[in-house]
Structure 1
């Protein structure tokens, strides 16, 4: 940190105050400037009592007509004030005898506070007040008074004094003049002065309008800094070296020859992009987006074989044991003919099993390891990790991804990274959130996939839905019944699933019904899932543990309870568990009426389209980027001023502006990142 930016340069900051400011993300003088007000108070004019309205903050000046102690439910000191336009009561619940004497009839006072409706008249409860004289009144505020986000022990007056001092320090305008002119943005100093000290005649509502030029100026700069941080991060990665997998590709060809299907044109295109990356001397950083069922796993398997044939280890990481187990079974099925046996590493292993797995990974005996976040724990050491494949990356934090990458780093050699997601990300959002990655999109579903008819039905038609399940299963099909609750609780969801399974067993005794939920032992859950896949069960009652990783082609019906409670992306993922064969499939969304406007929009979108990218865009609009990307995405959840959803229109300009800065003003680019991203750059420096 620049020594001139140290908070201790400001009057009133010692170690204790500095510690409290750090809780607000303020560690240098510059940070104070971007700590914007939550709201403003207008103390610039005196308002006649006769014009006051309940709920507003106001300055009034009046004469005390009477003061007395009231002994009601709570003892209080009350003074009746009059300014000639009306009367108002000042009420203190905590008071001293000195205050009682000060508030004597005939005295004139100026008060500021929130106007409330009392029993007989308007009241000010514990307002700020001071005595005034008709011919010697203290001056009123010249600007609107800012109210800042605070923390315990940091009062508004102190924050105002510190920010006033900070505004006297020079602040570098890091955006080139061409950018400011093209966008018609004010200079940074002008924007900050306006937002911290608005003139008395300012329109408060307009000051908080996201399209206000001063706010747009700051939002644009912050989004640009976020984007630049990822671009610089990418620059660090490009400078690193990686193993080159320059082999004949015999293993890949063997796998393709034995598969019971042909790759789609989209799969072939993405596979070629990955193959080109893996023969480069720099680490691959590629994100593969593909809708539910588009065939990302076979692309991952081909990349893994390219690494294995070159003598390197591969790690495949998934966010849940269920999804990791699905990958394990799929890789076993595909790679067994090639004499490759994947190893398993997850939290459910016994101590003895874990120790054996760790020893094989460390010695290089195990070439391909599949598992959960257990893969990046300290006790895991790879012998020669060349490729890491991460599924559903948005569920992992950046720390976790870096930890696994660092395990494979030997000297200046770093493993390649292939990141996959079945949650499509809108283009503008991906441009900002994943600017450090190359992106490939599998935009084609394999042939033979049946369309899914989606129907929303009120809970009152539950009996008809149960009858529909019976008919489908009697025709030799299988069905899912997914249970979710209002509360975010795995325990309650599991209880709901157990109760539903019991009820359905009573109503449908002719069906073979299984149960799977997150609180079951992994082995028991796996047994149930395998029985369903083998056709030994007709109906699987489950929680959202089946969201990803379950592939049963004979399943043609899915019921989702409390569908209005789930996000669009999750509903789309769940729906993708059916329609995996050639039989017409259905998804019934059970909801509790009446539906909110958001609920109507969400379920309506599911009925209208099966395009994951259309759904992702709508999900972004309904829930915002934090939910779409996952709350642990570095930087994106720490936005101070910008809002990815609200300020999407700015994202279109970001890439070109970043190009300009990196090419013509690289030092300004670094300074912008340090100004806005702070901690995020520590990830970049080690990336």
Structure 2
């Protein structure tokens, strides 16, 4: 047996040099399969899958596979079931080390983890299950067969090969004292080499009857090596990516937990932890990966003790970071701006419309900030079409006329282009030089960067590219951020790295109830534009069931006949092939069935940026009559002639999102039409359609959305990227958020700079996750 193992190692070594699958007669892959079975080598699923793929692999992939195989055979390690109370490691491993330092993570697995935003051991440990499944108790095979997850224990008795159109299908038969069940192994032929006859396994799956026999094709298994098994009745379900199996991910998480869990300290001060009966941090983390004390129901509602403890900690750190940041900003002394009101009055007089009272009020607030000698840090909230950008431009003009520069950041290149095209010509007439800087530029990029550093560009419009190290401003006095929810606390704090601390004005068109806004944006003063410009034409909203499509598109057709353009928006839960095919289907129907004589174009997230930009430019110039898009695409470019929007499956969207989409039309001098096509007859759907038809008040709609859909659905915090929470959701967990803010206030009243020994862990964690806490005075030179 030992000679066979040594021969296998030599063959692998020879194959590593040739990489042609011809090291042995009949093929190296076939020889490897036989040896794994003959020597009863327990190889991970991932490697067994690669054995089958070996002949088709590239040479580089073969090299990686063979190196991993050699390492595995040399170490001889076996995957062990995780025990909830592991023996303490001899030495704790740094949580910030790369996942590559974990046994079993090679280049391929690292890339897979990176796709899940897992880069460090800490990222892996804090990659919590997205939901939990109840495995219940171990039951006899004779009793399985329902729509719920069930668990049995039995022995592999035989393999069967069933002839199908696509070839021979593997079935593995498991037996206990009461009966048999077959595992239907679609594309899992490698299981024949793992689940060999005589192996005892714990099997969890959804079982059904087929041709009078019990079987399952949706299952997971654990090989039982001893009678003393650790059976976990609640099964964590993780988000996966292509090529990464659940078994592999759990194994890696367990390895990280065993070596790194002990480095995580309790951040929450002990008096607060005792006050709210919060679980200790290491215990809470372990419980979420291996539930033993929590119920299935409370875990899926995010209300287990462990989840509440970690959510509370995230909120406490976030609340403290905002309050400390606010204190630091208020302590900053800057050179007061001398306002050139004569210039601003001249600019306003040239506008083709009158400023609203709300706009004038917010401009006054900005003026007060700029002349106070304190740093402005303001959130400008306004409903769609309320004139936020104009207010921001007026604030920018004050800064430019005082001899400083302004940076305006948009969330996408399309919106950056939109702002540039709109304002560069207007401001040129007033002697203001506007530049554009985005990640996708090439030719003029170096030239514009040089002009920025020399101070020749007064207003720079761009994307995140403005934060890059190579962009150096001559004298940056104001940063305007468009769409706050795309930029988190870390991005805002990076502005300090530009050698100056500029004034900050953040714009958001997402209406958030004021009490929640005060909590989420505790480091910002808040201004609200609650009026629409005089003369803004209304958008009529109508709702049709999907069965009334003909009637709906008839109304759309009347607008197109007048030479106007239309958006058709399809629901997008996530970027996936399923979503893409849905958009293609709608595109095909519009082009072939409903509007065969119109110029219809399709835009989606999988198109190259250049192609997307080209489509949007052609649409804005009138070259496209109907633009079909997913909701994740920024259709926010202002096209005055686009006054119609059709939203397919409107029931899938939140009210606030529907209102945001509706705000993209009716921006010219024509009345707009928004058509909601919905499916379903529930009272909830009917009520939501009625609200959209009857009101265009974004703040009222936001309040209704919060009531009806629940806090967790309202804003989609994780999708938008506003905050970097592992578990917490401000809208779902707002009661915990309020308590955390209360405690943050108490802590800072007693220790404003977190200098006391008992608050050092808090301070250290805030600095690690958000920014350095410093009492240094920061100045902006005139």
TM-score clears 0.5: yes
**In structure 1, distance between residues paired with 2:323 and 2:476:** 25
The answer as to 2:309 corresponding to 1:217 is yes
The answer as to 2:569 corresponding to 1:480 is no
The answer as to 2:389 corresponding to 1:288 is no
Deviation of the 1:550 alpha carbon:
2.4
**In structure 2, distance between residues paired with 1:224 and 1:180:** 15
1:85-140 C-alpha deviation (Å, 9 max, x unpaired): x444688996799976x68xxxxx896655845665657999657699xxxxx556
2:457 to 337, 353, 366: 366
Question: SS state of the match for residue 210, structure 1?
Answer: coil
Deviation of the 1:454 alpha carbon:
0.8
Match of 1:106 in 2: none
- Structure-2-length-normalised TM-score: 0.64
Question: SS state of the match for residue 424, structure 1?
Answer: coil
1:563-610 C-alpha deviation (Å, 9 max, x unpaired): 637665554344335555787x34231537568998766644421321
2:761 to 668, 671, 674: 671
Deviation of the 1:445 alpha carbon:
2.1
Which has the larger displacement, 340-349 or 246-255? Answer: 340-349
Assess if the C-alpha contact under 8 Å between 2:416 and 2:463 holds in 1: yes
1:191-340 maps to which residues of 2 (within 5 A)? 203-235=295-327, 237-238=329-330, 242-247=334-339, 249-320=341-412, 323-324=415-416, 326-328=418-420, 331=423, 335=427, 338-340=430-432
Deviation of the 1:197 alpha carbon:
6.9
Deviation of the 1:291 alpha carbon:
0.9
Question: SS state of the match for residue 506, structure 2?
Answer: strand
Assess if the C-alpha contact under 8 Å between 2:645 and 2:665 holds in 1: no
Query: Which segments of 5 or more consecutive residues in structure 2 lack a partner in the other structure?
Result: 1-88, 164-168, 604-608
1:81-230 maps to which residues of 2 (within 5 A)? 81-82=176-177, 86-88=178-180, 113-114=204-205, 116-117=207-208, 122=214, 138=227, 163=257, 171-172=265-266, 174-175=268-269, 177=271, 180-181=274-275, 183=276, 185=278, 203-230=295-322
2:501 to 393, 414, 423: 414
Deviation of the 1:398 alpha carbon:
6.7
Match of 2:83 in 1: none
Assess if the C-alpha contact under 8 Å between 2:568 and 2:626 holds in 1: yes
The answer as to 2:508 corresponding to 1:389 is no
1:17 to 76, 79, 103: 103
Match of 1:135 in 2: none
The answer as to 2:729 corresponding to 1:643 is yes
Deviation of the 1:303 alpha carbon:
1.0
Deviation of the 1:367 alpha carbon:
2.2
**In structure 2, distance between residues paired with 1:131 and 1:563:** 51
1:12-91 maps to which residues of 2 (within 5 A)? 15-17=101-103, 39=132, 47=139, 52=144, 56-58=149-151, 81-82=176-177, 86-88=178-180
Assess if the C-alpha contact under 8 Å between 1:255 and 1:334 holds in 2: no
1:203-232 C-alpha deviation (Å, 9 max, x unpaired): 443454433444323322222223333444
Match of 1:658 in 2: 744
2:699 to 613, 616, 623: 613
1:430 to 491, 494, 517: 517
**In structure 2, distance between residues paired with 1:259 and 1:154:** 62
Question: SS state of the match for residue 526, structure 2?
Answer: strand
Which has the larger displacement, 590-599 or 363-372? Answer: 590-599
**In structure 1, distance between residues paired with 2:269 and 2:195:** 56
- Structure-1-length-normalised TM-score: 0.71
Assess if the C-alpha contact under 8 Å between 1:561 and 1:591 holds in 2: yes
**In structure 2, distance between residues paired with 1:343 and 1:336:** 11
Question: SS state of the match for residue 652, structure 1?
Answer: helix
Match of 1:445 in 2: 532
1:633 to 721, 734, 737: 721
Assess if the C-alpha contact under 8 Å between 2:385 and 2:667 holds in 1: yes
**In structure 2, distance between residues paired with 1:629 and 1:193:** 25
Superposition RMSD on alpha carbons, in Å? 5.5
Deviation of the 1:144 alpha carbon:
5.5
Which has the larger displacement, 290-299 or 335-344? Answer: 335-344
1:252-283 C-alpha deviation (Å, 9 max, x unpaired): 23334444544333222222222222234454
**In structure 2, distance between residues paired with 1:507 and 1:70:** 57
- Go from structure 1 to structure 2 and tell me whether the alpha carbon gap of 1:16 and 1:204 turns closer, same or farther (over 3 Å shift): closer
**In structure 2, distance between residues paired with 1:307 and 1:419:** 16
Deviation of the 1:8 alpha carbon:
7.0
Assess if the C-alpha contact under 8 Å between 2:485 and 2:722 holds in 1: no
- Go from structure 1 to structure 2 and tell me whether the alpha carbon gap of 1:459 and 1:663 turns closer, same or farther (over 3 Å shift): same
Query: Which segments of 5 or more consecutive residues in structure 1 lack a partner in the other structure?
Result: 104-108, 133-137
**In structure 2, distance between residues paired with 1:51 and 1:203:** 24
Which has the larger displacement, 121-130 or 49-58? Answer: 121-130
2:659 to 572, 593, 612: 572
Assess if the C-alpha contact under 8 Å between 1:563 and 1:571 holds in 2: no
**In structure 2, distance between residues paired with 1:155 and 1:335:** 54
**In structure 2, distance between residues paired with 1:501 and 1:170:** 57
The answer as to 2:674 corresponding to 1:588 is yes
Deviation of the 1:461 alpha carbon:
1.7
Question: SS state of the match for residue 418, structure 1?
Answer: strand
**In structure 2, distance between residues paired with 1:8 and 1:372:** 34
Question: SS state of the match for residue 389, structure 1?
Answer: strand
Deviation of the 1:381 alpha carbon:
3.5
Question: SS state of the match for residue 383, structure 1?
Answer: coil
